[in-house]
Amino acid sequence: MHSRQLTRIRRGAAATAALAAAAASLLFTGSAPAGAASPSARSSVSRYVALGDSYAAGEGLSPVVDTACGRTSGSYPTWTAQTVKPAVFKDATCSGATTRSLWNWEGTAAPQVNALSKDTDLVTVTLGGNDLGFTDVLTACVLAGLTTKEGSPCRDTEAAAVDAAFAKLSPRLSSMLTDIRKRSPQARVIVVGYPNLFPADGSVCGTSASLAKGDVTWLNQTTYRLNFMLELSARLQQAEFVSTTDLFQGHDMCEPAAERWINPLLPVNSGSAHPNTFGQRVMAREVLIRISN
């Protein structure tokens, strides 16, 4: 083997190790790990575009960098960009976005695909939850939970509408990934899934979320179903999928404040039912681990 080949292999291994170390340190430090990525690791991503909804925008965190979109610098795309240090980072994420927001204006926010270009080499995307009307469903479940903690009153009234929304979402995800690939043919496309918000055993949250026990189970099943659809779409479109579901087990909104990575539903605020700062760091860590592979 020629010395140049050996040098390239060593540099590639060093870059991978540096990103892995950066991913690990990100989980335990209070800020992005300055200097954690080597120059080789930094140059491995030149143009990074982040697409998605409030879970990618870092809704409810601070500081806010785009009030209209609820976009903050505490989001997993920002943590990722601060670690890999691309020459260009475009964050098109926006709270309330659906898959249609890729091609249409979302209030004052331009279509998200406008951020893509032929030379984009990394894309992360978290979308689909709002296509299901998940915020409205959660609201309905909380209202139902105020009257009873038994059975699954929310599922009984909302399941048919959610099933219909799932049927529409599948082809939209395919179109989304096809268009991303068309606009950025050289990009590594990473679909980042949604964390489960509630205990895996279906236990009731108490003051964190007023929900009937059966509805907790149904909402968890809905999240698993959405993530399965996202992963399947990613695999069929030659994209990658990062799962966050299992990572948040034992750190859902019903855990004590020191243990949870998801903000509780109650009291209601902009960050309700969204990853907190630590949760966003965990999501960034998983993206960085995937990039390093």
**Residues that are catalytic:** 54, 274
In whole angstroms, what is the distance from residue 160 CA to residue 284 CA?
34
In whole angstroms, what is the distance from residue 199 CA to residue 206 CA?
12
In whole angstroms, what is the distance from residue 192 CA to residue 230 CA?
8
Q: What stretch of H or E contains 281? A: helix 277-292
Question: Would you say 163 and 225 are in contact if contact means Cβ atoms under 8 Å apart?
Answer: no
Q: Where are the beta strands (DSSP E) in 168-252?
A: 188-192, 240-242
In whole angstroms, what is the distance from residue 187 CA to residue 122 CA?
5
Q: Which two tokens stand for residue 169?
A: 């979402």
| DSSP, res 42 | H
CA distances for 170 relative to 19, 39, 42, 159, 240, angstroms: 33, 40, 35, 17, 17
Question: Would you say 152 and 215 are in contact if contact means Cβ atoms under 8 Å apart?
Answer: yes
Q: What is the CA radius of gyration of the chain?
A: 19
- In this structure, what are the phi and psi dihedrals at residue 101, rounded to the nearest 5 degrees? -70, -15
In whole angstroms, what is the distance from residue 217 CA to residue 25 CA?
34
Q: Residues 148, 152, 157, 159: is their CA dihedral positive or negative?
A: positive
State the pairing for strand pair 240-242/188-192: parallel
